[in-house]
Amino acid sequence: MNLLLKLALAASASVFPVAAMAAPVTPGVTDREIVVGTISDLSGPIALLGVPVRDGLLMRFDEANAAGGVHGRKIRLVVEDSGYDPKRAVLAARKLVQRDQAFAFIADMGTPVVMASMPVIVDAGRLHLFPFSPHESTYLPLHPLKFQNFAPYQTYMEAATRHMVQTHGYQRSCLLYQDDDYGLEVMKGVEAALGRLGRPLVEKTSYKRGATDLSSQVARLRGAGCDFVVLATVVRETVAAMSEARRIGWKVDMLVTASGYSAQTHELGGAAVEGLYGVSVLPHPYAEGANKQLADWIQRYRKRYGVDPNVWSVMGYTLADMFVRTAEAVGPQLTIGGFARTLEKFDFTRDYFGSPEYRFTPTDHLGNRYGRLAQIRNGKWELISDYLK
């Protein structure tokens, strides 16, 4: 064996053990930054929700970065637009995992999108945090990477439906639902509530995601003699359903899920949606009557974006704040496992936005289980109940 070959073998023998002992690299984390991904709808049927959520996320992360970052690391949010299309969401998830090396995914938007993309994210070993999909699979079965802080559709719609029927004495309850996982989860909650009360679900009718003409569905519900209609709809469909009912002179009471609880609902629907009931996760950030901290935040948001914030802006901001506070608590050695273990011990108390308390434990990754009732009165949402159980 010649001298050069001996030297090469000796060099390789000395290098490989060092490489084998090198510390593992955490995806998306360097000395200077933390990469966070989000899959939202910026161009599709729920862009009215996706855009303010994105803006709220960016605002809070930029504030953290301006203050020096998290232990010296700046947070870089990479936003992918799914257009509320599950196929596009899967491609976006793969891109964020493989190309961007996202450390975590936060606030992914829409149940159909989340159901399609969540397996890609979790199988890649990345954190799946606080998706806008109150579906039980976002926290069950218990998984070290899945955390949800929005009350599940089944739970809060069971409580809300039961409360409405008991309070108002409705005899013929019905359901209009989006024909996908979102609508089916709401249906389970509604049926459970009526079952507990010994009442039937008199009629149910569905629509395809993105539909704008709901005249046939509304006519079917009216023909069934419904005196109460639960809406598993989002903003545009909520406005369409109530506008059609009012157009034909049908003044039936309607209750929409938290997906329709938005300022855009009364801004777009006007007088047609007056009296609509909805489930509230937290109050809308109306400037009138706001406490000082909230008023200051509204002004900062207006200055940055040139528009008033809504409840979706607040939710994006508060989710980003939960991420920042948890990452800070982990310490300088940020890892995926360390973040998850820290979040499992975190209690997030009520804030100036009126958010509920969020609490996670090692055996429970659902931070909140309850919603409140609200109603559109004089063109604004007003809370009309405490948290329903």
What does 87-98 look like in DSSP terms, one character per residue? HHHHHHHHHHHH
CATH of domain 33-151+290-355: 3.40.50.2300
Under the banding of pLDDT at 50, 70 and 90, the label for residue 354 is very high
* Rounded distance between C-alpha atoms, residue 146 and residue 134, angstroms: 12
* Whether pLDDT at 10 is above 80: no
Residue range 108-117: mean pLDDT, rounded: 96
The pLDDT, as a whole number, for residue 24 is 57
Residue range 206-214: mean pLDDT, rounded: 93
The pLDDT, as a whole number, for residue 212 is 87
Task: State the chain's mean pLDDT as an integer.
Answer: 93
The pLDDT, as a whole number, for residue 235 is 95
The pLDDT, as a whole number, for residue 285 is 96
* Whether pLDDT at 15 is above 90: no
- Superfamily classification of domain 153-280+373-383: Response regulator (3.40.50.2300)
- The model's pLDDT over 217-270, given as tens digits with 9 standing for 90+, comes to 999 999 999 999 999 999 999 999 999 999 999 999 999 999 999 999 999 999
Residue range 145-170: mean pLDDT, rounded: 96
285-289, Cβ contacts within 8 angstroms, sequence gap of 24 or more: 285/309, 285/310, 285/311, 285/313, 285/314, 285/353, 286/380
The pLDDT, as a whole number, for residue 362 is 97
> What residues have CB less than 8 Å from 320, skipping those under 6 apart?
56, 57, 58, 59, 60, 61, 64, 106
The beta strand positions in 208-362, using DSSP E, are 228-232, 253-256, 277-280, 347-348, 358-359
Place of tokens 């507990």: 196
**Which secondary structure element, helix H or strand E, spans residue 294, and what is its range?**
helix 292-305
**Which secondary structure element, helix H or strand E, spans residue 178, and what is its range?**
strand 173-178
Structure tokens given for 173: 């309850």
- The model's pLDDT over 293-336, given as tens digits with 9 standing for 90+, comes to 999 999 999 999 999 999 999 999 999 999 999 999 999 999 99
* Rounded distance between C-alpha atoms, residue 178 and residue 234, angstroms: 9
- Amino acid (one-letter) located at 265: T
Under the banding of pLDDT at 50, 70 and 90, the label for residue 25 is confident
Residue 312: φ, ψ to 5°: -70, -35
Residue range 284-297: mean pLDDT, rounded: 96
Query: Strands 146-147, 127-129: parallel, antiparallel or unpaired by DSSP?
Result: parallel
DSSP 3-state of 356: coil
Structure tokens given for 40: 């939202």
Q: Do 203 and 220 form a contact (C-beta atoms < 8 A)?
A: yes
Under the banding of pLDDT at 50, 70 and 90, the label for residue 210 is confident
* Whether pLDDT at 1 is above 50: no
Domain residue ranges in the chain: 33-151+290-355, 153-280+373-383
Under the banding of pLDDT at 50, 70 and 90, the label for residue 16 is very low
- Do the two domains 33-151+290-355 and 153-280+373-383 of this chain adopt the same fold? yes
- Amino acid (one-letter) located at 256: V
The pLDDT, as a whole number, for residue 6 is 40
Under the banding of pLDDT at 50, 70 and 90, the label for residue 7 is very low
* Whether pLDDT at 3 is above 70: no
* Rounded distance between C-alpha atoms, residue 78 and residue 83, angstroms: 16
